[in-house]
Amino acid sequence: MAVTAYQRQLARVLTPVAPPRVLDDVYSDDQHDRLLGVIKQAGPWPIIAAHHFDTVDELIATVTGVVPKDHGLTLDDIASAHFRGFYAKNSVCFYPEIEDIFYNSRFLAEVKSYWGVQYAKPTMMLFNICGPHNSGLDPHLDATTFRGVRFENTPVWMQNIMAKSGLFTDYIVKMAQIITWWWRGAEGTFTYWPDGPLEPPRKLDGPMWNTGLVVQNELMFHRGDPVGRPDERAIPSLKHRSLMGYDPHADAWEITTDGARIRQYAPSEMRLLVHWNAELYADMDECRKVMDHTDDLTHEQVVDTLLADLRSKGKNVVAPADPFHDVDFIHALMDTYTIAPTSDWIER
């Protein structure tokens, strides 16, 4: 299928500022032990999607592709056994025992070098944990941050539609992540599109033990690939509300649904990802613009801009009373601002 000029325009927007940098030995053994200790002690933890999405439509709008409004799917139907928790949000660390890890001068120097800028601050730190399971093969973006429209006040799906539309590029806040994996298996790789969605992907192969990437995942399509051998991945009774926790008596990890254990893993079967995030500013003028909110977007401005653009493209869209949850509005946006990687190393 021929690539249109519009797709090429969007692809230029959805390309990171620089190719990812591979890092080895990202954390010390002591830091890893403390990060894992928080996960063990403060769980159980919900599925990744349970943090961010109330409907299937919102989840699909965050990744790629279009589905009909009468798809009939529920979040239980597409639940994936990948679980998440937050160490820090909005520059606040929630666990004193890892404050030195979150407020990390070495990481700040790394991301400032990646961007070639003067200033940075840590904003968020999270983890994803799983055992063998099937994960979706659709690439996605992380929540793209704009001045005034952020993870703290806006659904993830709307942030990513804004990025894919290319209409708000002048408001994007510079971000970088240091993402680190602990996983010794062959199946459980990381696929990413550093040259934009119209170019071939690259893959970070396993084993990935304390291996990291410095990236701009907010504007680079990427995905975590299925984990473990195919015969290990099925998890009957998995639901959107399922939880992952650690049982110290058995020294095992378990997935539960409504309190009933549906799967147990040995520690050696677990794959851990730790995602550290920073916000960056080219100079003091940019720092002041972001922090003083002198040139922020509002949600009303975003919706009005999207509606005007949709209508200019011949879409007859009614202004939504609740734009964050209006299914017709979400589908109009999905239908219009959809771009997906055109090549993959996996044969579907």
CATH number for the domain harbouring residue 77: 2.60.120.620
pLDDT band at 272 (very low <50, low <70, confident <90, very high): very high
273-320 pLDDT per residue, tens: 999 999 999 999 999 999 999 999 999 999 999 999 999 999 989 999
Lowest-pLDDT range of 72-81, 94-103, 249-258? 72-81
pLDDT band at 343 (very low <50, low <70, confident <90, very high): confident
Q: With a threshold of 0.95, does the pTM exceed it?
A: no
Number of domains in the chain: 1
Report the DSSP beta bridge partners of residue 243: 46, 256
Can you give the pLDDT at residue 7?
A: 81
For residue 165, give its domain range: 5-336
Considering only residues 146 and 340, tell me which one the structure prediction assigns the higher pLDDT: 146
Can you give the pLDDT at residue 62?
A: 67
For the CA atoms of 2, 4, 8, 11, what is the dihedral angle to 10 degrees?
A: -80
What does DSSP assign to residue 182? E
Measured distance CA(208)–CA(205) in Å, rounded: 7
Residue 343 domain-assigned?
no
Residue 344 domain-assigned?
no
pLDDT of 1 higher than 60: no
Q: Of 97, 107, 123, nearest to 33 (Cα)?
A: 97
Residue 346 domain-assigned?
no
Mean pLDDT, the chain, rounded, equals 92
121-149 pLDDT per residue, tens: 999 999 999 999 988 778 888 889 999 99
Residue 107 domain-assigned?
yes
Most confident stretch, 165-169, 182-186, 242-246: 242-246
Look-up: residue for tokens 């070098």? Answer: 113
171-225 pLDDT per residue, tens: 999 999 999 999 998 888 999 999 999 999 999 988 899 999 999 999 999 999 9
Q: Of 287, 25, 53, nearest to 160 (Cα)?
A: 53
Lowest-pLDDT range of 2-11, 155-164, 192-201, 243-252? 2-11
Residue 347 domain-assigned?
no
Lowest-pLDDT range of 55-69, 75-89, 230-244? 55-69
Residue 277 domain-assigned?
yes
- Please count the CA atoms within 13 angstroms of the CA of 236 that sit on its side-chain side: 0
Residue 342 domain-assigned?
no
The mean pLDDT value for 66-88 works out to 82
Can you give the pLDDT at residue 214?
A: 98
Can you give the pLDDT at residue 190?
A: 93
Residue 341 domain-assigned?
no
| Composition of the chain by helix, strand, coil, percent to 5 | 30, 25, 45
User: Given the DSSP bridges, would you call strands 252-257 and 243-247 parallel, antiparallel or unpaired?
Assistant: antiparallel
Can you give the pLDDT at residue 67?
A: 60
16-75 pLDDT per residue, tens: 999 999 999 999 999 999 999 999 999 999 998 888 777 777 776 666 655 666 667 787
Where do the DSSP E strands lie in the chain? 21-24, 45-46, 83-89, 92-93, 119-130, 174-183, 190-192, 202-204, 208-215, 222-224, 243-247, 252-257, 260-265, 271-281
Token pair of 195 as six digits: 């040259």
pLDDT of 348 higher than 60: no
